[in-house]
Amino acid sequence: MKGSKDNTNSGGRIVALCGGVGGAKLALGLARVLGEDLTVIVNTGDDFEHLGLHISPDIDTVLYTLSGLANRELGWGRRDESWNFMKVLQDLGSETWFQLGDRDLALHVERTRQLKAGNLLTRITGAVAARFGISAQILPVSDDPVRTTVIAEGRPLPFQRYFVEQRCAPVVERIMFDGVAEARPTAQVAAALRDPKLRAVVICPSNPFLSIDPILAVPGMRGLIEAAAVPVIAVSPIIAGKAVKGPTDKIMAELRVPATSQAIVKHYGGLLDGLVVDEADGGDAAALPVESLVTPTLMKTEEDRDRVARAVLDLAARLSARSLAEAGSE
């Protein structure tokens, strides 16, 4: 955090960086606490073309989660889903490795139609969010294509092939974000991070390598965050040395990064002012080079999501108050 704004009073914008399921849990808590004072900047590295459709899995997870339409049983996709499209695809001998429910499909068809007509992903996402009754602002990090490719066992795998088709089994050597050098944050992303009422930037407990890195790798993003002069706080996706779900700890082991709070702070390379650490990892917290808040971070219920969101806001307020006091004593 450079400089010092008065962020201790409630009110003001929070910008959250978010991937899919893990990140969206906290984004929902923040949305319930903050309403329209929340901007969620979402990873687009998982986006891909499938069966002629543009699919944005993390954006859709955030849209479905914040609108109450998420499928809690499956842990992905829409609730009240039916699967007629997939059944017919199977009868036709077509590709069925990526599951698309009938209701979910409508969103992909409409998004693809609008993109082909020249509309931008940011505007399409905003319009869907409004239709779904979401008051938070949901923004793709960029309207330029960024595509995550996993180099695993010597060969490049497009992200969804690695994640869904191969169920994260191949050993990861490197992760690349194709197109990222030419990508730019959107004007809306820049405006949110330059909002004079910005209170804090929150890095949700998403996979740092697959969900947050593609956001931070967009040229200009780190500079915008650093220039914001507000606390930057992450919630660790690690609980008791393990990922709650998904390949975070597997990838960390493969990349020879220990699954610890210390490693999460180091991974974000000087960007963080604070880390929310699960109580199971609380022993490590005192030695962290950033401020920490230790609390249970497993978000099973809506109340858990609200509670972790409030913990993040408490840590942000504490950091802002400290920075103001330091500025005052200079």
Task: Provide the binding-site residues for ligand GDP, judged by CB under 6 A.
Answer: 19-23, 25, 58, 61, 205-207, 211, 235-237, 239, 243-246, 248, 278, 297-299
Contact (Cβ atoms closer than 8 angstroms) between residue 230 and residue 198: yes
Q: What is the rounded distance in angstroms from the CA atom of residue 266 to the CA atom of residue 248? A: 15
CA distance 320 to 327: 10
CB of 124 to ligand GDP, least distance (A): 20
- Judge contact between 79 and 132, C-beta under 8 A: no
- Among residues 209, 198, 203, the alpha carbon closest in space to that of 290 is found at 203
Residue with tokens 């969010």: 129
Name the residue whose CB lies closest to ligand GDP: 22
Contacts of 189 (CB under 8 A, 6+ apart): 41, 139, 141, 142, 221, 224
Tell the smallest beta-carbon distance from residue 180 to ligand GDP (Å).
Answer: 17
CB of 72 to ligand GDP, least distance (A): 13
Minimum CB distance to ligand GDP smaller for 161 or for 322:
161
Query: How many CA atoms does the CB half-sphere of 308 hold within 13 Å?
Result: 31
Q: How far is the CB of 154 from ligand GDP (least distance, A)?
A: 24
User: In the complex, what is the shortest distance from the CB of residue 62 to ligand GDP, in angstroms, rounded to a whole number?
Assistant: 9
Q: Which of 67/206 has CB closer to ligand GDP?
A: 206
Residue with tokens 């099973």: 300
- Specify the residue, 122 or 211, whose C-beta has the smaller distance to ligand GDP: 211
Side-chain-facing half-sphere of 59: CA atoms under 13 Å = 29
Question: Of 7 and 14, which has the nearer Cβ to ligand GDP?
Answer: 14
Nearer to ligand GDP, 128 or 309 (CB): 309
Is there a contact between 176 and 100 (Cβ–Cβ < 8 Å)? Answer: no
Nearer to ligand GDP, 120 or 164 (CB): 164
Closest distance to ligand GDP from the beta carbon of 87 (Å): 25
